Amino acid sequence: MESKQIEQLLEKYWNAETSLEEEQQLRDFFRSESIPEGMKETAELFRYFDHQKKVQLTEPSFDGNVVRKISANRPAAKSVKMYFNYARIAAGLVVVVAATYFVGQEVRKSYPAEVTDTYSDPKLAFEETKKAFMMLSKGFGKARQESQKIKLFNEAEQKIQGKQATKEEEITI
């Protein structure tokens, strides 16, 4: 390639106007041996670029390590997660069951056992029941007598009010 053409390309290159193809042309040119005196540094730069592209990740075990990590990573994480999910549900169930058991026990303690028969003889039981009812009716009777007094008061009050009302009517007339 003509060195004039190269100079033009280089000028474009420094102005960041070259295409990838043109940059490849420059790279090819500077790979050759016959480089004009004034372009030695530029040639060095392009050789540096070439050289840098050859830098590699030189570790034989790298690929193996990565593959091992990614294949070990995924399933383990999944099973651990699933295990935790199940554990959560199981813990919830345990709490609910334990709570029902203890609450049930407390309830049973606070209620006395079922009522049992206190009398074996039905006659005696009848007598006792009758006595109890009698006591009740006596209480009721007394209460009625007392309420009779209240009734008396009520009647008296109504009478007084009635008189007053007639009086007031007379006054207004």
Partner 1 sequence: MNLEAFENRVLPTKNKLFRFAFRMLGSSEEAKDVVQEVLIKVWNGREQMAEVQNMEAWCMRITKNLSLDKLRSQQRRPTDSIDERFDVRNEALSPHENTELNESMLSINRLIAALPEKQRQVIHLRDIEGYSYNEICEMLELDMSQVKVSLFRARNAVREKLVKMNAYGI
Residues of the shown chain interacting with partner 1 in the complex, contacts defined by CB under 8 A:
13-16, 20, 23-24, 40-42, 44-45, 47-49, 51-53, 55-59, 62-63, 65-67, 69-71, 73-74
Determine the angle formed by the axes of helices 3-14 and 20-31, rounding to 10 degrees: 130
Among residues 20 and 107, whose Cβ is nearest to partner 1?
Answer: 20
Q: Please, which residue, 65 or 154, has the CB nearer to partner 1?
A: 65
- Cα gap 163→160, rounded to integer Å: 5
Q: Which is nearer to partner 1, 15 or 110 (CB)?
A: 15
Contact 13, 5 (CB under 8 A): no
The region that residue 16 occupies, defined by phi over 0 for left and psi between -120 and 50 for alpha, beta otherwise, is: left
**Nearer to partner 1 among residue 3 and residue 39 (C-beta):** 39
CA distance to 67, 161, 163, per residue, from 63 (Å): 6, 112, 118
Burial class (CB in 10 A: 0-12, 13-18, 19+), 18: middle
Least distance between partner 1 and beta carbon 47 (Å): 7
Of 4 and 51, CB closest to partner 1 = 51
CB of 24 to partner 1, least distance (A): 8
In the bound complex, what is the minimum distance in angstroms from residue 40's beta carbon to partner 1? 8
Query: Residue 66: what residue type?
Result: V
Q: What minimum distance in Å lies between the beta carbon of 64 and partner 1?
A: 11
Provide, rounded to whole angstroms, the least separation between the CB of residue 9 and partner 1: 13
CA dist., res. 88 & res. 80, Å (int): 12
